[in-house]
Amino acid sequence: MRRLVEAIRREGKALGEKILRVDSFLNHLVDVELADEMGRALAELFRDLSPQKVLTAESSGIVPALFVARHLGVKMLFARRKPGGEGYLSRRVPSPTRGVEAELCVRREYLGEGERVLIVDDFLAEGLTALALASMVEEAGGRVCGMGFCVEKSFQGGRERLSGYRVVSLAVVDSLDPLAVRSGLEEVV
């Protein structure tokens, strides 16, 4: 995904050893054309698995997930970052950008038994958010048919944690100092 790689190289800013700021085009100020292109690319890579719903985490995952869902012609669901209470599935996950733990909650009735769910997020770092989302899908009796990410930070081990799932990243950052980024689509067979 050349356009995404170029945007990361041009506008991405490393904040310390683990944080890559891409909020000027991906998750605060949004380049809608790029978001649409990423959504189309991820939708095509998972179309053969016939996802019935796209699931993400609030809030940075909403934009890419919405575009993927649009191109698949399915609904998008996001896990809220607040306590849910009765009728909700919930998981606690660390927030890598905020340094605190967040509770992700999804209304149980929105994840169906036997439903094929595609998990989409802006970043794959340690993989803990994706694992929490997958756990909720599986508890509801659904099946995770894949996981798609805009940007993967390969040095944080998330892909290894997600072994057993089909994982696709559009761009892969191998290092923040110096910034080393490449297309993730070269690895897709």
pLDDT reading at 189 higher than 60: no
pLDDT tens, 23-42? Answer: 999 999 999 999 999 999 99
Give residue-wise pLDDT tens across range 13-22. Answer: 999 899 999 9
Which residue stretches of 128-167 are H helix?
128-139, 158-161
pLDDT band at 188 (very low <50, low <70, confident <90, very high): low
Query: Cα dihedral sign for 34, 183, 69, 137?
Result: negative
pLDDT for residue 126: 95
Eight-state DSSP code of residue 12:
-
Percent of the chain with pLDDT over 90: 87
Give the pLDDT of residue 159. 97
Q: pLDDT of 38-76, one tens digit each?
A: 999 999 999 999 999 999 999 899 999 999 999 999 999
Indicate the DSSP class of residue 187. Answer: G
User: Do the Cβ atoms of 42 and 168 come closer than 8 Å?
Assistant: yes
Please provide the average confidence, as pLDDT, over all residues in the chain.
Answer: 94
Name the β-bridge partners of 141. none
Mean pLDDT, to the nearest integer, of 103-131?
Answer: 97
The helix (run of H) or strand (run of E) holding residue 35 is helix 32-46
Topology given in CATH for the domain delimited by 2-184: Rossmann fold (3.40.50)
What is the pLDDT at residue 82?
Answer: 82
- Coil, strand, or helix at residue 188? coil
